């Protein structure tokens, strides 16, 4: 007669749940640029970290951050727009909530309840190895 240990069964269930939760919880990761639209300043990127047995899904339309900087010793501020080349390795950060409605600069409610979803990824920089 087999006896099932309820504590072991509960532990296995919780372990599986947490593994699934943490696998679907995106924060930041390196990606390779597949395509870049310099007019819209968005890129299609391929995540470079595998978290399961399948290839990670490509992320479409990830915006790149621009910068407005002013020299420390004076002078006028300058705007710097992102430029990515195919094959660049970039660092992508994933927003806590859906960002699309907030990109216009006004407070807005998200259209979905998604959280830490790679569809809300933003490119924050290029790894130095990509510079030639």
What's the whole-model pTM score? 0.79
> Is 20 a residue whose pLDDT tops 70?
no
**Confidence class for position 56, pLDDT limits 50, 70, 90:** very high
Residue 10, helix vs strand vs coil: helix
What structural domains and CATH numbers belong to the chain?
26-130 (2.40.50.230)
Using the Cα atoms of residue 12, residue 14, residue 15 and residue 21 in order, give the sign of their dihedral.
positive
- To the nearest 10°, report the CA torsion of 125, 128, 131, 132: 180
Residues 63-113: tens digit of each pLDDT: 999 999 999 998 999 999 999 999 999 999 999 888 888 888 888 888 888
Cα–Cα dist 74/52, whole Å: 50
Contact at 8 Å (CB) between 88 and 62?
no
- What DSSP state is assigned to residue 118? G
């Amino acid at each position: 007669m087999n006896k099932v240990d309820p504590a072991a069964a509960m532990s296995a269930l919780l372990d599986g749940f947490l593994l699934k939760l943490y696998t679907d919880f995106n924060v930041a990761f390196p990606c390779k640029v597949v395509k870049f639209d310099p007019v819209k300043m968005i890129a299609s990127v391929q995540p470079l970290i595998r978290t399961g047995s399948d290839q990670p899904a490509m992320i479409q339309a990830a915006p790149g951050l621009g910068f407005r900087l002013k020299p420390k010793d004076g002078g006028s501020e300058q705007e710097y727009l992102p430029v990515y080349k195919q094959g660049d390795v970039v660092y992508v950060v994933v927003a806590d909530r859906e960002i699309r409605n907030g990109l216009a600069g006004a407070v807005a409610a998200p259209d979905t309840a998604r959280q830490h979803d790679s569809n809300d990824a933003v490119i924050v920089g290029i790894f130095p190895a990509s510079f030639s």
